[in-house]
Structure 1
Amino acid sequence: MTIELVPEWMAGLEEEDVTFIKRFVLSSGSLKDMARQYEVTYPTVRLRLDRLIQKIQMEEEKGPEPYVDFIKKLALNDKLDFETAKLIINEYRKERQDGA
């Protein structure tokens, strides 16, 4: 039996993202407290949380398609926005289905 210590979705995150998650949990999910801790505005913390949610969703959707994983990695590294990445991936999958 293999015990997974770190979930796959978490292994793909940067250390600062994991720190953010830890601080978020320790502040009982209060974005106001997080804004105070990071000395930024509430909307800034909300945006950071939204981006982190998108990263986790992308990590969860990893699959056996190297091209799709490459597009997701571009989005995670801010080389491509998430909406564009989703459009490219959906079009790619549609083309593969139509060709099969």
Structure 2
Amino acid sequence: MEPWLEALTDSDRSFVRTLVLTSGSLKAVAATYGVSYPTVRARLDRIIEKVQAVEAAPADPFITAISGMVIDGSVPRDVADRVIGAYRVAAERQAP
């Protein structure tokens, strides 16, 4: 599986599948999910951010996962920055 696809949650992948099956119509996706067009657009924007983060990020799965949590809104940016900073310091200490 492609790294960008692995970074998406099951729910995100289901959303992308629905988007493909509706020929990219955000209006049709909104009707399928029973939500507004702006809600669908916001969700698609978050998925796009995740994909872009994976494509631009170093190939470190931990950092990619934390970045995805920030995009999802489950972890605040400042907390993620501190966690990633501590992770990098620990990794440098373990490097030969």
What is the aligned partner in structure 1 of residue 9 from structure 2?
A: 14
2:2 counterpart letter in structure 1: P
Consecutive unaligned residues in structure 1, runs of 5 or more: 1-5, 93-100
Q: Residue 64 and residue 44 in structure 1: after superposition, are their counterparts in 2 closer, same or farther (change >3 A)?
A: closer
Q: Residue 26 and residue 56 in structure 1: after superposition, are their counterparts in 2 closer, same or farther (change >3 A)?
A: same
Aligned residues: 80
2:49 counterpart letter in structure 1: Q
Consecutive unaligned residues in structure 2, runs of 5 or more: 86-96
TM-score, structure 1 length as denominator? Answer: 0.65
Give the Cα separation in 1 of the matches to 2:49 and 2:27: 21
Q: Residue 64 and residue 34 in structure 1: after superposition, are their counterparts in 2 closer, same or farther (change >3 A)?
A: closer
Runs of 4+ in 1 over 6 A off after TM superposition: none
The alignment-based identity, stated in percent, is: 37
CA RMSD of aligned residues (A): 2.7
The answer to whether 1:23 aligns with 2:18 is: yes
Give the Cα separation in 2 of the matches to 1:70 and 1:39: 29
**More helix, by proportion:** 2
Give the Cα separation in 1 of the matches to 2:12 and 2:61: 24
What is the aligned partner in structure 1 of residue 31 from structure 2?
A: 36
The answer to whether 1:58 aligns with 2:53 is: yes
What is the aligned partner in structure 1 of residue 76 from structure 2?
A: 80
2:11 counterpart letter in structure 1: E
1:47 to 30, 42, 62: 42
Instruction: Point out which structure has higher relative CO (alpha carbons under 8 A, 6+ apart).
Output: 2
